[in-house]
Structure 1
Amino acid sequence: MNSKSSLVLVVAMLAMAVQARAGTPDSALLIISKTDHVVEVRDPVSFAVRKRIPVGPDPHEIEVSADGRSAYVSNPGYGALHEIDVLDLPSGKRRVRFDTLPLLGPHGLALVNNQLWFTAQGSKAIGWLDPQTGRVEWAMGTGQDTTHMIHVAPDGQHVYATNVSSGTVSVLEQKLVMPAMPPTGVMPPAAKPRMDWVQTLVPVGQGAEGFDVSPDGRELWTVTPTGAIVIVNTGLRAVTATIESGLEGAHRIRFTPDGLRALVVSVKTGNVAFYDVRTHALLKSLKTGRGAGIYMDAAGNRALISCTPDNFVAVLDLATMQETERIPVGRPDGIAIARFETVQR
């Protein structure tokens, strides 16, 4: 290799190193600021602010489309509002607002199979809308108070939601059911089985709010403010174990991307705990800000904890289970990462 070729190679390697530090141009870290009513678009590595996109009056959760072009932000307003913001990430502008009426208080979000699912905590219900039209296409009541967070399985036929004030988890499944037998005791010849949603309510404890479903779909873990980690077998639709963590104010829980550990945070004390999913043993505990939400970044092997009362996002390295950085944000809440080649700095 001649000296000119060597110089070109060195320059290319330096450029790659700078790009790795600055973050790839096709990705962006999105953080909701409830203080400023914006979504902060940041570099996912340096955390430098690229843009700030205005959103509604009470932003909470955020979900990003698979192509990275759109983000959706819920505005529950303590069960009184009915708005979901739609953000155009390439332009950095709010495109439109979806109206969820008659369903009130959209909070938890999940985008599966081009259906934007949401909880309607003011209407004791869940529903989904078409992201292309913004029209609510389906809804089902839970009959429970404060239906808050939601998880939808990839098949779109298994849905889970926590009902905070009722202390239950709704397990919703699509099943083949027969029409109800009429009073005559004779089923009409035209009556046929049809697919319908069936709900099972699993008592998990008052105040259970944050939850996660294991990567294999077999277990649901949720937490109560007393520190109880309640484990639900999704196949049995029943509680099979409880771990007394002692974390007062336990608020959110998430599985690590490999499914081997569960991370629990307290919104009251700022304590954080890692648990072994198989043995239920405590692996490590530490203290950060008072955590109100967790986002798992599989590509970065890190967890981002929105410490809403303390005005920063804590960054935890999942390999070492240590806090590595704090990102100042005014009352942060929902966090997501978008990947789209035209997101601009």
Structure 2
Amino acid sequence: MKTRHLLKVAVSLLGLSLVCSVTACTAQSTPPKSLLALSKGDHVLAIIDPGTLKVIARVPVGSDPHEVIASADGKTAYVTIYGGGSLHELNVIDLVAQKPLPTIDTKPFMGPHGLTFAANRVWFTAEGTKTVASYDPATDKLDWCMGTGQDRTHMIYVTPDAKRVYTTNVSSATVSILVDSLIKPKPNPAGFTQPPHQDWVQTVIPVGKGSEGFDVSPDGRELWTAGSDEGIITIIDIASKKAIGTIDAKVVGANRLKFTPDGKRVLITSLRNGDLFIYDVESHKEIKRLSTGHGAAGILVDDDGSRAFIGCTADNYVAVVDLKTLEVSGHIDIRGADGLAWAVRP
């Protein structure tokens, strides 16, 4: 009886070993360049091979994920858990090990939404508290914040030197330009002058109603944003910090806007009707209006400008658009697809 029992144990261990061996063989490592896509439906971050368009891993995230960004070394992803302005989490994912890391509590900054990575820090908007803030992974601390005083501070862009921050304020129909400036006080009547000090200065620029998605041109000269209410594109000259033109694009339901890497085209998604609007930057004319489904949100463009990836939330997929033919060339199944980002390891 004892011999028979030992034989059964040995067979069981052998089976377990085979299962583990097969699992190890079928597990796929994260490629050096990965497409990251958030699923609002399944509450996961999908890691996708951009060559094969196959999902190689799904990592759980919080209950209302909206935007994702990767660190400069491509090893870590950060996800905002939004909750309509009520939640207060940044989820952190190890992209190499394909597993969650400890969550960052953003309190007192509520409703983190838009985010980016610049100067080795994570920058995000906190819609519920009308602020923008930054998190330093090296110190594990929230190390900077500034209030906008505007309603629904939503998306964010930070220059590589972290000296300028741009945000859209959806309900206020404004764009905030925040600049890290050296302030030189004027002499007072007694002749005493305080030493200069660093300060952040905000310029608020009116734009189209419901402006949410925006982007800065690759040359850094212009900021384009599209308003969802009337579908008007507003163009801002960054040097003068003034609106220099509008385009009556009728991009009703505009959600995200992105320049192509060469700066010649602008892509705009409509969450209301699922169309992708493609505009010529120089002429301000529409090139094409392409149906991607029933509701288009996040936009990501290949570095070589060959493809665009569109998070089609209502259709439960990421649409792949060939930017040479301007046609949809494929789909990646992601339930409630929204925020997209690249993760690139050197």
TM interval, shorter chain, is: 0.7 to 0.9
TM-score (structure 2 length as normaliser): 0.87
Find the counterpart in structure 1 of residue 234 from structure 2: 230
User: Is residue 248 of structure 1 aligned with residue 268 of structure 2?
Assistant: no
User: Within 2, Cα distance between the matches of 1:52 and 1:83?
Assistant: 19
Write the deviation string for residues 34-84 of structure 1: whole angstroms up to 9, x where unpaired: 111110112212222211101111111111112111000011111111100
2:51 corresponds in structure 1 to 45
1:32 aligns with 2:35: no
Instruction: Compute the displacement of 1:142 (Å).
Output: 0.2
CA contact (8 A) 1:227 1:246 kept: yes
Q: Is 2:213 the counterpart of 1:210? A: yes
Measured in 2, the distance between the counterparts of 1:134 and 1:322 equals: 44
Provide the secondary structure at the position in 2 that maps to 1:209: strand
Unaligned runs of 5+ in 1: 1-21
Mapped partners of 2:143, 2:192: distance in 1: 30
Q: CA deviation at 1:262?
A: 0.5
Q: C-alpha separation between the residues in 1 aligned to 2:313 and 2:186?
A: 48
State the alpha-carbon separation in 2 of the partners of residues 209 and 73 from structure 1. 18
8 Å Cα contact 2:30/2:47 also seen in 1: no
For the residue of structure 1 that corresponds to 2:129, the secondary structure is coil
- Taking the aligned partners of 1:274 and 1:36, their CA distance within structure 2 comes to 30
Secondary structure in 2 aligned to 1:60?
Answer: strand
Describe how 1:1-345 pairs up with structure 2 within 5 A: 25-179=31-185, 185-186=189-190, 188-189=192-193, 191-225=194-228, 226-289=230-293, 290-299=295-304, 301-340=306-345
Residue 152 of structure 2 contacts residue 172 of structure 2 at CA under 8 Å; is this kept in 1? yes
Q: Distance in 2 between matches of 1:288 and 1:96?
A: 36
Residue 66 of structure 2 aligns to a residue whose secondary structure is coil
What is the distance in 1 between the residues matched to 2:34 and 2:234? 34
- Matched position secondary structure for 2:314: helix
**Cα distance, 1:300 vs. partner?**
6.4
Residue pair 1:62, 1:336 contacting (<8 A) in 2 also: yes
The 3-state SS of whatever aligns with 2:161 is: coil
Gap change, CA 1:23 and 1:82, over 3 Å in 2: closer
Give the distance between the partners of 1:23 and 1:286, measured in 2 at CA. Answer: 34
For 2:81, give the aligned amino acid.
Answer: N
CA drift of 1:299 comes to 4.1
Whether the 8 Å contact between 1:23 and 1:44 is mirrored in structure 2 is no
Report how far residue 320 of structure 1 moved.
1.8
Q: CA offset at residue 132 of structure 1?
A: 2.3
Query: Could you tell me how far apart the structure 2 residues matched to 1:128 and 1:188 are?
Result: 35
Aligned partners of 1:186, 1:255: CA distance in 2, in Å? 53
Which stretch shows the higher mean deviation, 236-245 or 330-339? Answer: 330-339
**Number of corresponding residues:** 317
Amino acid paired to 1:37: H
* Cα contact 1:23–1:43 (8 A) shared by 2: no
In structure 2, what is the Cα distance between the partners aligned to 1:33 and 1:187? 61
TM-score by length of 1: 0.88
2:19 matched to which residue of 1? Answer: none
Q: What do the CA deviations read for 1:81-110 (whole angstroms, capped 9, x no partner)?
A: 110011001110001111111111111111
Q: Which amino acid aligns with 2:248?
A: E
- Which amino acid in structure 1 is aligned with residue 60 of structure 2? P
Q: Aligned in 2, Cα 1:24/1:300: closer, same or farther, shift over 3 Å?
A: farther
Aligned pair in 2 of structure 1 residues 187, 302: CA closer, same or farther (>3 Å)? farther
Q: What is the one-letter code of the residue matched to 2:213?
A: G
Q: Say if 2:39 and 2:337, in contact at 8 Å, map to a contact too.
A: yes
Name the SS for the 1:309 alignment partner. Answer: helix
Structure 1 residues 25 and 83 mapped into 2: Cα distance closer, same or farther (>3 Å)? closer
CA distance in 1, matches of 2:315, 2:61: 21
Q: Within 1, Cα distance between the matches of 2:187 and 2:247? A: 43
CA RMSD of aligned residues (A): 1.9
